[in-house]
Amino acid sequence: MAERLTILVNGQPVDVRAGTVVAAALAQAGVTQFRRSLHGEPRGPLCGMGVCGECRVTINGQPHCRSCLTLCAPGMEVRTDD
């Protein structure tokens, strides 16, 4: 299970273990703020289980993806704060 893969987080390559969710990869890359609220406040994951929507990021161009339930895949492009 030591298989590793690389995704792009805001353009920067991040190397993670297979089985890592996107939210965790973002944390590994040092991202704390996943999105800004309507009034511009920083937000990050709250529920960790696909309920709250606070961990939403853009994955491969698709906005509003729940990063806590999405597994990293090789070459995946993730953007925060779009």
Partner 1 sequence: MSATADITIVGAGIVGAACAAACAQAGLNVVVVDRGPVGGGTTAAGMGHLVVMDDSPAQFALTAYSRRLWRELAPQLPSNVEFDPCGTLWVAADEEEMAEVRRKEAFYREHGVKVEVLDEAALAQAEPNLRAGLAGGLVVTEDAVLYPPGAARFLLETAPAGRVQVRTGIEVNAISRDGTVRLRDGTRLAAAVVVNAAGCDSPLLTPDLPVRKRKGHLVITERHPGFVRHQIVELGYLKSAHAVAADSVAFNIQPRKTGQMLIGSSRQFNANSTEINQPILDRMVRRALEYLPTLGQLTAIRCWTGHRAATPDKLPLIGPSLDCERVWLATGHEGLGITTSLGTGKLLADLLLKRPTEIPAWPYSPERLAHGDAPHG
Partner 2 sequence: MTSHAFEVVVVGAGPAGIAAACTVADAGRPVALVDNSPWLGGQIWRGEEANPVQRAARQWLKRAAAARVTIFREASVFTVSLPQRLLVETPAGAVELGWQRLVIATGARERFVPFPGWTLPGVVGPGGLQALVKAGWPIAGKRVVVAGSGPLLLAVADGLKHRGAHIRLIAEQAPSSRVLQFGFALGRHPAKLAQGLRLKARLLGVPYRCGCWPVRASGDEAARQVTLTDGRRTWTETCDYLACAFGLAPNLELPRLLGCRLADGFVQVNEFQETSVKDVFCAGEPTGIAGADAALVAGCIAGFAAIGNPGQARALFGARARWQRFGRALRDAFAMRPELRRLAEAETVVCRCEDVRRGELERHDNWRAAKLHTRCGMGNCQGRVCGDAANFLFGWTNDSVRPPLLPVRVTSLLSPVADVNQNPTPPAGNQP
Distance (Å) of CA 57 to CA 1, 3, 4, 54? 27, 25, 22, 9
Can residue 64 be called a binding residue for partner 1 (CB under 8 A)? yes
The reply on whether position 52 binds partner 2 by CB under 8 A is yes
Report how far residue 77's alpha carbon sits from residue 46's, in angstroms, rounded to the nearest whole number.
22
Closest CA to 27 of 48, 49, 1: 48
Q: Does 10 bind partner 2 (CB under 8 A)?
A: no
63: partner contacted, choices partner 2, partner 1, none (Cβ within 5-8 A by kind): partner 1
Decide: is 68 part of the binding site for partner 2 (CB under 8 A). yes
62 binds partner 1 (CB under 8 A): yes
